[in-house]
Structures are given as C-alpha cells and as structure tokens.
Chain A
Amino acid sequence: MSIFSHIKYFMNVKLGARSYIMFNRWRNARRPLRWNTKYLAPPLKVDKITKELIALHYLDGHYVDGRKSVAWVTSGAPVEILQALGYYVIYPENHAAICGVKRKVVEIAGEAENAGYSLDICSYARTDIGAMLSGKSAVGTLPKPDLLLACTNICQTVLHWYRILSYHFNVPLIIIDTPFIYTEYSDADIEYVKNQIEDSIPVAENVCRRSLSFKKLQNVVKMSKDASELWLQIIQRGTHIPAPISAFDQFIQMAPIVEMRGKAATVNFYAALLREVDERIKNGVGAVVNERKRLLWDNLPIWHRLRYFAEYFGTMGISVVASTYTNAWGELAPLMDKDRPVESMAKTYIYPVLNRSAGSKLGTIKRMAEEFHINGVVLHSDRSCKPYSIGQIDQRNRLIHDDRMPALLLEADHNDTRSFSEEQTASRLDAFVEMLGI
C-alpha cells in the first residue's frame, strides 16, 4: 500500500466519512418520516446502520486504489477465499439493486441498451454493463476489478455477463460452476465444485500477490456462518404472530449478508438486528399494525416499488412475513464448517434455492407456508430472471389446487420500471386480496 493512498484513505474514509455520517444522522433525525405509521411499524432502528454500512462500503471502494485488490463477485459466490486474501469485494447485483431502489435503472441500463444490449437480458446485468460503459452509478463510482468471480449457482446469466466484464476490463475471470440439482447432488458434483474452488486459490493469490492463510480462511468461514445463522434466526422470527419483521424489511436488511459475508461488522450488525426484532416481539409490535393476513413472497423483490407494496399490503392489514429469496441466505448456514472450509463451501454453494429444481422450490414454499402460518403466496414472475421464474405457473397451480392456498402470479421485473404497470398490478392485487377474504 502506498503512503499516499493510505493517507487519502484515512482522511476521506476514516475521518471524512465519520463526520459525514454524524451529520447525516443529525439531519435525518430532523426530517419528517416518509413512512405510513398508521399501518406500518416505524422503520427498524438498525435501518440507518444498514445504510451507513453500505455507504461506507462503497466509500471504501472510492479509495481502494493502491490499498487492496478489487474483485467483482456474483451474489452466491464462495467469497470467503477472497475475503481471507484481503480483497475489496463489489457485488454488481447489489449495486444494481441500489440503482433499482433509487430508480436509476432506466438511465444506467439505457447506456447498455444504446450500446446494443437487448432489453431481453437480465436487468441486473444491463444495469451493471451500463455502469461499466458509462461510469454512472447510484453510489458514486465503482472501483475497477482486478479479478472477477462468477458462480453459476444462481443462473447461467452470470456466466455470460461476467465473460463480457472480463473482456472489457481485461482481467481474469474465475468461474465456479455448480451442477444444477434436479433431484439430489452426487459426490461427483461436490468433488467438481471443490476442485474448482481449490483451483481458484492460486489464481486469486496471483492477482493480489498474497498467500492464503488457512487460519484466516477458517475465521472468515466462521464469521460467514455466524452471520448467516443470525440471519436465519431473524427470518424465523417472522413465524411470530404478529410478525415483527416483514419481507420488505428483510429485502433491505439482507444487503450486508450478501455483500459483507465473512466480516466481524456483519456479525455484529445482525446480532443488533436480532435484538431489535426480539424487542418488537416482547412489546407485541408487528411490522404491520393491524395484521389480519400473512403472505409469502417468491422470487426477487421489485426493488423500484418496495414502498408501494409495503404500503398497499399494510393498509389492508396484510403482512408479507416471509420470502424464499431472503430465506436463501439463511438456509445455507448449517452447511458451513470452518474445520473443512473448502469442502463445506462446495456443499454450501451448490445448494441455493436457485440451483435446485422447480419442485424443490415448491417444497420450500409449502414448508415455509406452514411454518409461517401463511394465508397466500405472491409469486413475482420476474421477466429478467428465468431461473427463478420458470416453474412458477405450476407452483401456483399446485398451491391453489393441492393446498387450497390463494396464489397470485404477478408479472414484473425486479429492476426495470418499464416492465411494471401500476394500474394492472393494482387491479390484480385487489382481486387477490378479495380471495384472501379481506
């Protein structure tokens, strides 16, 4: 690390950012709350910490040059190795989601579309490629990668997307390819993933010019596991009636588990969130003030309409208490093992819900529906995300016919506002709510 970059980092991140955060807290405390507290519980207290953690993370990235190697990584990649090697890690999907929440996608993805990228490819990828081509972002600039890591456990889209990044940035791309689990995974599947993880280590070491310390790796895996276990507990608190935390809260609060796995700060953050959720339970506070019905959300959130959905359901006394998406980050926790880090990573990262069959996802939905005392399911048919969405028509039909569970298939796109019609959505939601008996 050069002395200059060290001083720059210290001045801007350690001193500058802290003062900015203090100022922001002071300013926000004086702003009127843009939140409908008549129907919804006040925002979680940790909300501001989440925002600060994310802001600091991206700020860190502005001054990373000369201090750390930078890796761009897919959300479900075995990032622990890179964390243990001291990489600064960016998750383009998370960045794209932030752009979605801030309604910047049409502008940024538009840059990719103008360059010839089709509207029919995933809007996360279009947002990221647009950001790469134009430098536009919702969080300032993103540091350029020295290394790319893509894991196919969420989709093949990331394979195509990261090949493009690798070509443009001219940096190495590590692919961790995870066989899709139609029924069960085999020893050969695990061996294949394990071998690739092992092969990725020298590549990552070579880029950052450091050697991987086994002890550090164990420590990172342990912290990943601790944070995931806390996250799982937080999600499971949603089984309480009234549910203290909604899926919409979870969508926001999941950022650190995706983006900052393997860090002590992340473990502390989730411990604080769990305490707050428990406090809500103790005080009988529900995420929705007058909880009458409970829903489960399937697939990615619609980032650009989080408040719209939270308020629509809230005013009806409907709490969306669980989601298969946020659950995915918790259900893997038990599989991690610091004593066998690489093998356990192989077993963990082959197993996300997106890498399992449509029937297995229906099983997860049904199990969660029972556990969380669900009255209905909203399946967001996400135009951008084929792996999550194909199968939902049958899943909905099975829920309705086999389980007599009201289920709604809602066509939209997680990031692109152009694939969302508020009028159409409202009339479909109204009809669905009627089916729930409200």
Chain B
Amino acid sequence: MSLQQLKIPKRKDVINEFKARGGKIAAVLPIHYPRALFRAFSILPIELWGPPKIDNSFSGSHLQAYVCSIVHNALSFLKIGGLDEVDFILVPHTCDSLQGLGSLLVDFVTTTKKVLTLYLPRDKGEPGYEFLGHEILRIYTILSQITGLHPDDALLFDAIHIEEQADKALAELYFKRKKLGLGNMDFYRLIRTREFLPAEHFIKLSQSVLSVSAAKSFNGLPVVLSGIIPEPMELLDELSRMGISVAADDLACCGRRLYQPGVSMNPFRRLSENLFSAAPDPTRGDSLESRIQYLKSLVYKSKAKGVIFYDVKFCEPELFDLPDLKKALKGQGIPSLTLEVDINDPISSQMLTRIETFLEVIR
C-alpha cells in the first residue's frame, strides 16, 4: 500500500478547516507539551520542527550562527509570514537554544501572536510531577483569560482521552510497522501527521492503515534511527534505495513521544504523567544509562543490524550523549554511524557515501 491511496491532508488545509469551524491554532516548538490542554480550548497544536528548507537568513538578525537550524528556521519562518494564520506560539523549554528563542519572542521580536512558554521539569521525583501540573495549570489560566473559555474537568478529560487514544494508535502503528508494508518515507510521513492532525483524524487515518493488510512487507536491512528529526526527509528514500529499512527509531519527533496514558483523576496531574511517560530523552534529564538500555532494547527487539545517529548540528542535548551511546553499542557488537545535518542542506553525496560504507559494514 502507498500513502497516496490514503490521502494525507496538507497542513494548510488542516489549519483552514479547523479555523473554519471556529477553532484557533497554536504553533508549537519541540518536543513535549500537553496536546489535550490546547484541544480542550478548541486550539489545534501544529508542530514546528523548523520547518526545513526555507530561507533562514531572516533569523540571522537575532541569532548567532552557532544556534541549531531548527531554532533558526522557526524564527525565520515566523518572520517571513509562515505563522500568519496561527494565534499562539508555544515554546517548551527543551534546551538552551529554545530557551533563548522563547526569550527573544517574549522580549525582542515583534509578533502579534501570543507567545506562551512551558518549563519542562528535569526532576524525576514528586517535585517534578507537581511542578509540571502547576505549569500546565498556569497555561490553562492564560488560555482562559485570552479565550474566555473555562473547560471543566469533564471537558479536559474528553480531550485527554482522545489524545490518549491517538497515542495508542501511534503505538500500534509502531508495533505493527513491519506488517504495514510501508517504505521508510511512507511510514514516517504517516507517523508525522501526529504533528498536525487533530487526534480524531489521526486515529481514523491510523485505523484505515491498520485495517489494510499489506500485499508484501518492506524488507530491507534493518537499522535504528536515533536523533531529533528525519529531515530532510529525502534521507528516508535514500535509505530505501540502498536497501535499508528503518526498523525502529529513537527520534525526538517520533519514537521518543510514544506516551503512555496517565492514571490520575486530576486532569493536570494526568497530563504530567503522560508527558513523563515516554522513552528516555536527554532534554528531560533522563540518565545516560537509561538511554543506553533503551537503545539496546530497540536494536534487539527490531533485530536491527546497526544504529544511525542522525543529529542536528549544534544540538548539545544529543552531542553530549553520543560518545557513550556509541561506545556502549560497540561493546555489544552493534555498529553505529553518526551523521550531522543542517535541516536546510540537501543530502550530500558525501553523506550518501558514508551511509553506503556503513551498509557494507552491517551487511
């Protein structure tokens, strides 16, 4: 099956349709945030991972060259009018660079959009849970003031339940990925619709994919992809062309956001539990040991032959962990390859050569 048959809507159309029904739009920067909270206010979160391949020279008048391309692009995109149709911008405190961007948007960059920030606690104990609950409540209060809406617990839980179902659908797609018969590009195009589709649409789309049994499965040499984001996405086609199948991923925009449902009956606590539940992530302060164990388990479960670390240049959260992750994998006889990209650059022939050499090693 190809995704063409499934008709994935375009972001722009999703935004227009949602707005036409009286909803508002929030542009959300990486990585973790409480989707359901926004939906309870009839606000659709649309994620902003860059976007790649835009003229990013506009951000140079605010940001130094040693800041990652995701942050540069987000600011350029805002300045060239890419966010004109959104009502809010949410900047989660993911790293020093996004902290800087949040601060610039609040203090220096002129925008008509309401800028919200979210501090994600790095404490893993009770203080962290409690604090995140407060942060979410703080955003609830701001959204209430702006929209005049005050969704009660029942409404909040409606939104929470539907997002939890969407998370479950996402997990199922991952679980059954081999049987779906999708190539690398199609699988990730499908998965990444979670970045902009309303949860109910995503669930429907997932169900229609899951209900069709594949004529033949995509059989390439399995690898695990780790990093922030598979951009430019042509990489995925190139991997397919070389006969590599991405069998599992530890990508911040994808596999690191397979959230579990919470248990609390307090909606704010429940959302905190949800955000804390996903795979180990350095930006949330998870230990290196937990990342190593997680990566190894991904390799074993997916029977991958190696790991490709596909990192964004200047991304400290990823760069710090790399040497020990690679060493630990090597200790288990798992080869790995590191590639660093600027999300604006096309896939270089040098990069392709490196992947081909890696392929020789793992074959």
Show the binding face of A for B, using Cβ within 8 Å.
115-118, 120-122, 125, 152, 155-157, 159-161, 163-164, 166-168, 173, 175, 177, 179-180, 182-183, 186, 188-189, 191-192, 195-196, 199, 357-360, 362, 381, 383, 386-387, 389-394, 398, 411
CB distance from B228 to the nearest CB of A (A): 14
Contacts of B99 in A (CB 8 A): 156, 180, 387, 390
- Tell whether A164 pairs with B127 under 8 Å between CB atoms, given A358-B108, A390-B63: no
With contacts A164-B324, A175-B285, A386-B96 taken as known, whether A156 is within 8 angstroms of B63 at the C-beta atoms is no
Pairs across A and B, CB under 8 Å, 27 listed: A116-B327, A117-B322, A120-B316, A159-B122, A160-B320, A168-B324, A175-B123, A175-B285, A179-B121, A179-B131, A180-B99, A180-B103, A180-B119, A182-B102, A188-B134, A192-B127, A192-B128, A195-B127, A359-B103, A381-B64, A386-B67, A390-B64, A390-B103, A393-B62, A394-B104, A398-B108, A411-B64
- What CA separation (Å) do A186 and B135 show in the bound complex? 10
B317 located at the interface, meaning its Cβ lies under 8 Å from any Cβ of chain A in the complex: yes
Name the distance in Å between B100's Cβ and chain A's nearest Cβ: 3
Known: A116-B322, A116-B323, A164-B288. A157 touches B103 (CB 8 A): no
How would residues 313 to 327 of chain B score, 1 for a CB under 8 Å from any chain A CB and 0 otherwise? 110110111111011
Cβ distance B43 to chain A, nearest Cβ, rounded Å: 20
* Residue interface bits B138-177, CB-to-A below 8 A is 1, else 0: 1000000000000000000000000000000000000000
Is B122 touching A177 in the complex (CB atoms < 8 A)? yes
B84 adjacent to chain A (CB < 8 Å): no
**Which among B67, B107, B314, B324 is the interface contact of A358 at CB below 8 angstroms?**
B107
Chain B hits for A359, CB < 8 A: 103, 106-108
Residues of A within 8 A of B320 (CB): 117, 121, 125, 160-161, 163-164
Residue of B nearest to A117 (CB): B323
Which of the residues B109, B282, B322 comes within 8 Å of A163, measured between beta carbons? B282
Question: Could you tell me which B residues sit within 8 Å of A by CB distance?
Answer: 61-64, 66-67, 93, 95-97, 99-104, 106-109, 117, 119, 121-123, 125-128, 130-131, 134-135, 138, 282-283, 285, 287-289, 313-314, 316-317, 319-324, 326-327
Nearest chain-A residue to B124 (Cβ)?
A175
Contact B64 A155 (CB under 8 A): no
Given contacts A161-B320, A394-B62, contact A186 B138 (CB under 8 A): yes
Q: Would you give the shortest CB distance from B18 to chain A, in whole angstroms?
A: 28
Contact between A177 and B103, CB atoms less than 8 A apart: no
Which residues of A have CB within 8 Å of B317?
156, 160
Q: Which residues of A contact B63 (CB under 8 A)?
A: 390, 393
Are B138 and A188 closer than 8 Å at their CB atoms?
Answer: yes
